[in-house]
Amino acid sequence: MELQGHLLYIDITQICGIGCAFCMYADKHKVGMSMELSTLSRENLATLINEPAVKRISISGEGEPLNNTKVFHEILNLSNGGKRFEFITSGFFPHAKMVEFFDETDRIVTSNGDTCNIRLSADSHHIEKVKWRAHGFSLDYLRRHQPSGLSFSFRSIDTDRHFTRRYLTQELQRWGINANITELGPLEDELVVGQERFGIDYKNLVHPTVGTPKGYLDMYGYIAAIEAKVSKRFTFGSLNQSPQVNGMDVTIKPNGDVYLYGIETQCLGNMHLDRLDWPRLQALLLNDPLARALYTQPFTDLLTQLEKPNLVHSIITRVNNPYWLVKELVRHDGILQAWEAA
Ligand code: SF4
């Protein structure tokens, strides 16, 4: 299996005090941990980050990554240059502190020859909870400071598309910035400010509650939208635009455990204990029948092979997302046998 254009996802904290209603990780926030780096983990992360086949390094968390900026900046410093980093955040810091964070991030990536995109959550769940909103402020920072290594984009969930459009244009207006929205597809808008373009990407709603109004993308609609975007069938792994092959999608948890994104049945190692590199991770992927099936066969084809279709259908409706579906299905004894035997 050829794999190119990997995505390395590093969850640097489980701590968060924001309290979004829909948060999937709320149970971890009070007792959770933040990542710390050991000598071996620094060596491992440097090896993983500096591999040419890596297309992007995304820093996020099962909490708010601004709660561990020290480790974020340490991770940036491990790069040998030419890398694209991304930082996914609610942007909740008071603005003076956010300026310090942006300045320091820009200083590091610029001196290393890297870039970092700051992806700000812009859905109603976050907006109602965050006192210091970073959206207009960040584009104002961009205009005033012109950081050479930073860019900005926005993210939301598909149910909030109209909210997000209205919120962003009004919030930017408060900062004296005139913006328009251009729709690019079912999962993408573009915020247009003069000659500049800022992406807005939409994820589908995971675990819709009983009272959620209809109109959100169901899991099959979400998969179809992803397939239209990349012009190929949806499999697990980091999807690249056709005709480029896909890459590995690897997540490192705050405690250092390493998984393929969405496949948490098999821990591939721990960055504090094991020597890690991409060929080793790829070998582990190929040796795991479930991961191999999910990486090589279109997901909707795999679903047709499962027994107990009524049970599977009810779980799909409840979960509404392919990655969370797999997490759920592995809890049901024997249900994934068909994939593991493939
Ligand atoms: S900011 Fe993120 S981690 Fe914190 S409660 Fe909201 S969704 Fe959860």
User: pLDDT digit string (tens) for 218-239?
Assistant: 999 999 999 999 999 999 999 9
pLDDT the model gives residue 280: 97
* Domains of the chain and any CATH numbers: 6-277 (3.20.20.70)
The atom of ligand 1 lying closest to the CA of 22 is: 7
Q: Encode pLDDT of 241-275 as tens digits.
A: 999 999 999 999 999 999 999 998 889 999 999 99
Provide the strand spans (E) within the chain: 6-11, 54-60, 84-89, 115-121, 150-157, 180-185, 188-193, 196-203, 249-252, 257-260, 269-270
Tell whether ligand 1 has an atom less than 6 A from the beta carbon of residue 315.
no
Contact assessment for residue 112 and residue 79, using Cβ atoms and an 8 Å cutoff: yes
Residue 31, token pair as written in the block: 């007792």
Q: In the structure, what pLDDT confidence band is assigned to residue 325 with cuts at 50, 70 and 90?
A: very high
Phi, psi of 318 (to 5 degrees): -75, -40
Find the 273 Cα to ligand 1 centroid distance in Å: 29
Tell whether ligand 1 has an atom less than 6 A from the beta carbon of residue 12.
no
Neighbouring C-beta atoms of residue 192, cutoff 10 Å: 14
Tell whether ligand 1 has an atom less than 6 A from the beta carbon of residue 90.
yes
Q: In the structure, what pLDDT confidence band is assigned to residue 144 with cuts at 50, 70 and 90?
A: very high
Find the 18 Cα to ligand 1 centroid distance in Å: 6
Which amino acid residue places its CA nearest to atom 7 of ligand 1?
A: 23
Residue 181, token pair as written in the block: 């929205």
Bond prior to 186 in cis (omega within 30° of 0): no
DSSP state of 336: T
Q: In the structure, what pLDDT confidence band is assigned to residue 321 with cuts at 50, 70 and 90?
A: very high
Tell whether ligand 1 has an atom less than 6 A from the beta carbon of residue 88.
no
pLDDT the model gives residue 209: 82
Looking at the chain, the number of H-run helices and the number of E-run strands are 13, 11
d(C-alpha 277, C-alpha 86), whole Å: 21
Tell whether ligand 1 has an atom less than 6 A from the beta carbon of residue 115.
no
pLDDT the model gives residue 246: 98
Residue 328, token pair as written in the block: 């759920």
Measured N-to-C along each axis, helices 322-329 and 309-319 cross at an angle, to the nearest 10 degrees, of: 130
Range picked from 162-171, 199-208, 304-313, 331-340 for highest mean pLDDT: 162-171
Task: Classify 1 as helix, strand or coil.
Answer: coil
